[in-house]
Amino acid sequence: MANRDGKHGNGALARLRGAGKSYGALRALDGIDLELRGGELLALLGPNGAGKTTAIGLLLGLVRADAGDVELFGMDPQRIEARRHIGVMLQDAQLPATLQVGELIRLAASYYPAPRSVAESAELAGVVDLLKRPYGKLSGGQQRRVQFALALCGRPRLLFLDEPTVGMDIEARQKLWAAIRHLVAEGNSVVLTTHYLEEAEALADRVCVMARGKVISEGSVEALRARIALKRVWCSTRLSLADVAAWPEVAEARIDGDRLCLSTEHVELLVRRLLAQDASLSQLEVRAAGLAEAFTELTRDDNIALQEAA
């Protein structure tokens, strides 16, 4: 628990415990537990409407939980002492269009006790060449970079980035990733929501997969991928789908174009048997499930992995 000055015993900077939130009949968050530790980057991953933004809204004190506990630096997130140490980049940032980028950064920095200089913030966010430009005249990707500068200018210990690289081209995205890595290497913590698996893969220490208001998987990227131990085997064969589907080493069988697509945990056994029973077998291909497949598998409505996790 937190003591009076917001220090906390177990290293959690932000925490949801059994947190729930409904909008009318819709249960946007259904009793989730989430903990952010010092110096880590936690990625919240999940399909549209999973509850990621609502979870961040609770931690920022923008949304009130109707069940459970929410703590930011061991305090109620609405307390100013807690908010002084966070930087935020939300999806629907509304900023004055006529102010120049440099003015916006100066203004945002003035709310913090020990901010970075405008020059340092601009350098970190890659907006040095935009400082004199009015915000409203920038492209979508440039505006996102400016929003990132505003999020980091207060030298926050904890950054909330809600889909930070949406609308950015590949180069801008890579630069933002590098800046985020730099901030984490300095000891800061980041909570990031994303739809991009490669973003989670590139940045996250921990990934929390959400679906339908619940956390359905939590761990490292490797652990997430390992949750789906299946390999996929494709081949063109004269063996029938029904026959192959009945083999004990085949977890799932379907037709994919002109080939069979088989899922298995025992790939060597399966391939040996396929080749033994069909000497004319062709177009053989074996692939490990990628993170994208693991993710799809995890967030599918009635999936086996989910039942295993329960």
Residues between 82 and 101 with contacts to ligand ATP, criterion CB under 6 A: none
Q: Residue 22 Cβ, how far from ligand ATP at the closest point, in Å?
A: 9
Judged by beta carbon, residue 48 or residue 282, the one nearer ligand ATP is 48
Judged by beta carbon, residue 53 or residue 188, the one nearer ligand ATP is 53
**What's the half-sphere exposure (Cβ side, CA atoms, 13 Å) at 285?**
9
From the CB of residue 284, how many other CB atoms can be counted at a distance below 10 Å?
14
CA 123 to chain centre: 25
CA 281 vs CA 41, 82, 106, 237, 243: distances in Å: 46, 64, 67, 5, 15
| Measured distance CA(87)–CA(122) in Å, rounded | 15
Judged by beta carbon, residue 90 or residue 152, the one nearer ligand ATP is 90
Q: Residue 210 Cβ, how far from ligand ATP at the closest point, in Å?
A: 6
Per-position DSSP letters for 212-231, written without gaps between them: TTEEEEEE-HHHHHHH---E
**E strand map for the chain:** 12-23, 26-37, 41-45, 67-72, 86-89, 158-162, 189-194, 206-211, 214-219, 231-236, 252-256, 259-264, 282-288
Q: Residue 21 Cβ, how far from ligand ATP at the closest point, in Å?
A: 8
What is the 8-class DSSP label of residue 158? E
What is the 8-class DSSP label of residue 8? B
Judged by beta carbon, residue 54 or residue 165, the one nearer ligand ATP is 54
Judged by beta carbon, residue 56 or residue 105, the one nearer ligand ATP is 56
Q: Residue 207 Cβ, how far from ligand ATP at the closest point, in Å?
A: 14
Residues between 13 and 72 with contacts to ligand ATP, criterion CB under 6 A: 23, 26, 28, 46, 48-54
Q: Residue 105 Cβ, how far from ligand ATP at the closest point, in Å?
A: 26
- Reading the block at residue 114, the tokens are 């020990």
Kindly determine how many residues on this chain lie close enough to bind ligand ATP according to the rule CB under 6 A. Answer: 11
Q: Residue 243 Cβ, how far from ligand ATP at the closest point, in Å?
A: 42
Judged by beta carbon, residue 62 or residue 239, the one nearer ligand ATP is 62
Binding site for ligand ATP (CB under 6 A): 23, 26, 28, 46, 48-54
